Amino acid sequence: MLVRDTAEHRIGTSGRHTPQAQATPADRLSQALARARSGRGGVVELVGEPGIGKTQALTELTRLARVAGIPIAAGRCTEVTPDSPLTLAAAVTGATGSPGELADALRQAADPAGLLVAVDDFHWAGEDSVRLVRALTQTALDVGLLVVIALRPTQTHTGLLAVLADGRDVGVVERVEVGPLTLPESARLLGCSIKDPQVRRLHERAEGNPRYLLALAAPRGAAATALLGEKASLGPDATRVLEAAAVLGGSVDVAGVAEVAGLPRERACAATSVLVRRDLLRPSDRPREYVFRHPVLHTLYYDDIDICWRAAAHRRARTLLLSRGAPHSVVAPHVERAPQGSDEDLTVLAGAAQEAMAGTPAQAVHWLRVALDLAPAGARARNELASALVGALLASGQPTASSVLLHQILRSDPPLSWEARAHALVPGALAECLLGRAREGGSLIAAALAEAPEDPPAVLVRLAVVQGVLASLEGVALTPGVADVALRVARVHGDRLGEMGVLSVRAFGAGGGAASAADLSAAAAIADAAADPDLAADPECLVMLASAESYSGRYRDARRHAARGVTVIRRSGGRHLLPLLYNTLSNSCRRLGELDAAQEAAAEAARIAEQMGAWRLHGLALALRSLSLAWLLPQGDREPVDLAEQAAAILPPGSSTWSATAGLALAQAALAGGDPRRAVTVILDFGGGPGLDDIPDVLRPWSYELLAAASGRADLPLAEWASRAAAVVDRMGVPYLRPYAVSARAHLLRSRNDLAGATALFREAAALFHTAGLAFSQAVALAEAARCQPGAGRADLALAREVARRCGAGRALAEYRTRPSVTEVTHPMLSVLTRREQEIASMAGTGRKTKDISNSLAISPRTVDVHLTRIYRKLNIATRAELARLMASIA
């Protein structure tokens, strides 16, 4: 047990005040007994909560005294016999008289053999017993008399507390407090392993109290029986008030328990006083209200109530709370425990679910399921409850259950009204998306929008927003004109968050160019002015805004709104949109060069998506993490490749719009790992051919730039990729995509040995990336420019490394070197070599090692060796030494 000693000092063996050592209550009682044996007695005040172990401590002390041969006088105060200590003293000493005279007799009886007087439950002590203690504490006990009184401070009257406080002040009384068990002690008491999770749960519920712990572990055991025994001695009114308090739960007042108990207020008030005096109820932090001494008592006493009376009491509690205007979430437990299935009951349960959705959607699921069990078959309320349950299941992270229920209610007979169907489709379509069936969800929404009434209700706005979310994530087609209609409906209803979401949908539909700028700015202004609780109520609108901003290259805004969305949703208890927001956050951070934050966000998205069974989102998150780690980890690290291969397995070519990101992640990892040919093959495979029709427009310029870089390193033709990149950028007219086309053209010029032209274009791409805020892409472009300048690219490389360092990717560019010159000498023998082979032959001919060549050209050592083998074969030589002599003669 732990010690909680409230006294600042204790009496040491020398009589001086010394700091109290950390000792158990048993240790301190044993020490007090040892002092008494040596003729220095005293009074010990043993205090603690009911059931904490005071009686056990007294029992152990008397055992020690018996072993030591010290006479013992042990007793107990009760409510009926408050002055039993005087009777005990008289019996031990044979004396009679006043408390003072009995105190003197006890001192004399302790000389010379010593004497232990142990009295339990001293909180029931009467006035004469208090006078006895006062007499014992007025002077130091210089004989072997040890008086130990155990009491509950909350039930001890102020007179006794004052006497004991005075005794502590003069050093005659020592206060020993019995504290709660530690977790290992609770495990030993239960006879279980500390690793058992049940032990920790019981320990925390019991708050370390041994009696409560045993009562929880065995509700029909001796400890529970002892706690119920405290109720058994109550009168009828006190019993009814106690049971009424157990039915109401929480903090109760006299008027409330009187109503539920069915007693007049005056009798209920008197009974409450009895319960407080017995320490079954205690005053709460709120004036004139009371709570159970411990939650375990509440549980035991509630289970002990007659079930018929309890059901009627719950109905009275329901009526009382409704009349007081209590929240539905407070009334709902009473409806659940004594249901009648009335319309009012269903209203309470539905209201409780709505209140719970703001913070604990899993509780909302519970209330809605209770309501559905009560609702009559075929009732309109059933459809409304089921539609709400679709959303609650999704918000609690159960997309599969949400989808199943959606399809059940869509097949209901009679069919749902358009509005009820729309309310179910808003979360239901998102559930379909999380489960990899976005196009199915999109089809359901499109059909509903096509059947919308001429004067549509406000839910049309949410349908339009969710369709936009599906479009931004999975390429679902937007219904033409619906954004304009939804915007008008949102403004008619004063739905500012809906307006924000629809503006974002319209901006996305405009292709992310200049036409969308005004809509995105207006939507961002609404989001920034909204309070967090409002955003939590309509998180899809914030998801749509962040997605549209990311699509339009507004990565700073997308990062800010995605991060805020994560915070808002986490506070509200919802989970289903977190993977979407984390993925948007990861993509935005990566584009901005915040690579560590990007990989952390992607890792969290992967974790949550995996828990929900949202496998496509999980695959996308793995791909995004690979894209960041490829530049954070040293060259040759397998993790980016492994992650990308996992993502590609989950999102194979053509399976999803997200497949493109998985393919690009694998291509980038392969390129960074020195396998450019694999990178080319992967992009063309996931893109569906040279036209990259299976890759979203917004990703194609980057895809073609990757193709150009990989083709250049693999000695493959790349003119087509540069021209296609330029064509896509010209068609889309999105400024932040232009540097990819410029960079692709630079790779082409370098492949033609136009190093000056390539340098200029890489620098231009770097400047455009900088303008767009894409820091790490800027660093890579500068590094490529440096490699195009034989011995003269140090300034570009230094700037590239500094920018990369700020992105956390300093190691990624640490091995970059400025590109060595390729011999300009024309020789018939060299004409049989490709450009890359000439480059490697020139470097190897100067004596550079394979590792140095691979670092300079950003290819793998194996690729260098493959090229050297071809060079030797074409030039009819056998060793690197022969190559060096040949290159020297040509130079």
DSSP letter for each residue of 425-471: HHHHHHHHHHTT-HHHHHHHHHHHHHT--SS--THHHHHHHHHHHHH
Beta carbons within 10 angstroms of residue 41's beta carbon: 29
For residue 213, tell me if it sits in a domain.
no
Claim to verify: residue 238 and residue 383 sit in the same structural domain: no
For residue 79, tell me if it sits in a domain.
yes
Q: Could you tell me the CATH number of the domain that includes residue 289?
A: 1.10.10
Claim to verify: residue 386 and residue 269 sit in the same structural domain: no
For residue 616, tell me if it sits in a domain.
no
DSSP letter for each residue of 684-710: HHHHTSTT-TTS-GGGHHHHHHHHHHH
Beta carbons within 10 angstroms of residue 600's beta carbon: 17
The Cβ-side half-sphere exposure at 311, using a 13 Å CA radius, reads: 5
pLDDT number for residue 17: 36
Query: Which residue has 């993490």 as its token pair?
Result: 625
**HEC per residue, 722-744:** HHHHHHHHHHHCCHHHHHHHHHH
For residue 50, tell me if it sits in a domain.
yes
Claim to verify: residue 400 and residue 256 sit in the same structural domain: no
Claim to verify: residue 883 and residue 856 sit in the same structural domain: yes
Residue 111, both tokens: 């000389």
**HEC per residue, 162-198:** HHHHHHHHHCCEEEEEECCCCHHHHHHHHCCCCCCHH
Q: Could you tell me the CATH number of the domain that includes residue 140?
A: 3.40.50.300
Spans of the chain below 50 pLDDT: 1-21, 818-826
Q: What are the Cα distances from residue 617, in Å, to 465, 607, 807?
A: 19, 10, 26
Dist. CA 811–CA 229, nearest whole Å = 72
Enclosing domain of residue 233: 218-326
CB-neighbour burial class of residue 358 (10 A; exposed 0-12, middle 13-18, buried 19+)? middle
Helix (H) or strand (E) holding 559: helix 555-572
Dist. CA 468–CA 478, nearest whole Å = 7
Claim to verify: residue 805 and residue 847 sit in the same structural domain: no
pLDDT number for residue 18: 37
Claim to verify: residue 448 and residue 558 sit in the same structural domain: yes
Claim to verify: residue 518 and residue 453 sit in the same structural domain: yes
Q: What is the pLDDT of residues 195-222, one digit of tens each?
A: 999 999 999 999 999 999 999 999 889 9
Q: Could you tell me the CATH number of the domain that includes residue 884?
A: 1.10.10.10
Residue 377, both tokens: 């078959």
Helix, strand, coil % in the chain, rounded to nearest 5: 70, 5, 25
DSSP letter for each residue of 330-359: HHHHHHHHS----HHHHHHHHHHHHHHHTT
Overall domain count for the chain: 5
Query: Which residue has 């009382």 as its token pair?
Result: 320
Q: What are the Cα distances from residue 388, in Å, to 384, 396, 684, 863?
A: 6, 12, 45, 59
For residue 173, tell me if it sits in a domain.
yes
Dist. CA 122–CA 99, nearest whole Å = 16
Q: What is the pLDDT of residues 645-693, one digit of tens each?
A: 999 999 999 888 889 999 999 999 998 888 899 999 999 999 999 999 9
Claim to verify: residue 712 and residue 812 sit in the same structural domain: yes
Give pTM, 2 decimals: 0.73
Claim to verify: residue 708 and residue 810 sit in the same structural domain: yes
Q: Which of 306, 326, 346 is at the close of a domain?
A: 326
Claim to verify: residue 446 and residue 301 sit in the same structural domain: no
> Quick check: 562 and 581 in contact, CB under 8 A?
yes
Residue 373, both tokens: 């069990």
Taking each helix axis from N to C end, the angle separating 794-806 and 775-787, rounded to the nearest 10 degrees, works out to 160
Claim to verify: residue 404 and residue 257 sit in the same structural domain: no
pLDDT number for residue 537: 85
Helix, strand or coil for residue 250?
Answer: coil
> Quick check: 104 and 61 in contact, CB under 8 A?
no
Q: Which of 516, 545, 567 is at the close of a domain?
A: 567
For residue 427, tell me if it sits in a domain.
yes
> Quick check: 442 and 470 in contact, CB under 8 A?
yes
Dist. CA 845–CA 852, nearest whole Å = 13
Dist. CA 749–CA 722, nearest whole Å = 10
pLDDT number for residue 295: 94
φ, ψ dihedrals at 150, nearest 5°:
-100, 135
Taking each helix axis from N to C end, the angle separating 482-492 and 459-474, rounded to the nearest 10 degrees, works out to 140
> Quick check: 582 and 608 in contact, CB under 8 A?
yes
> Quick check: 601 and 585 in contact, CB under 8 A?
yes
For residue 44, tell me if it sits in a domain.
yes
> Quick check: 441 and 432 in contact, CB under 8 A?
yes
Beta carbons within 10 angstroms of residue 649's beta carbon: 11
Claim to verify: residue 708 and residue 742 sit in the same structural domain: yes
Q: Which of 790, 819, 848 is at the close of a domain?
A: 819
For residue 766, tell me if it sits in a domain.
yes
Residue 588, both tokens: 């935005």
Closest CA to 552 of 515, 595, 498: 515
Q: Could you tell me the CATH number of the domain that includes residue 515?
A: 1.25.40
Helix, strand or coil for residue 288?
Answer: coil
Closest CA to 183 of 203, 198, 202: 203
Q: Greatest CA separation found in the chain?
A: 132
Q: Which residues contact 297 (CB under 8 A, 6 or more apart)?
A: 227, 280
pLDDT number for residue 43: 94
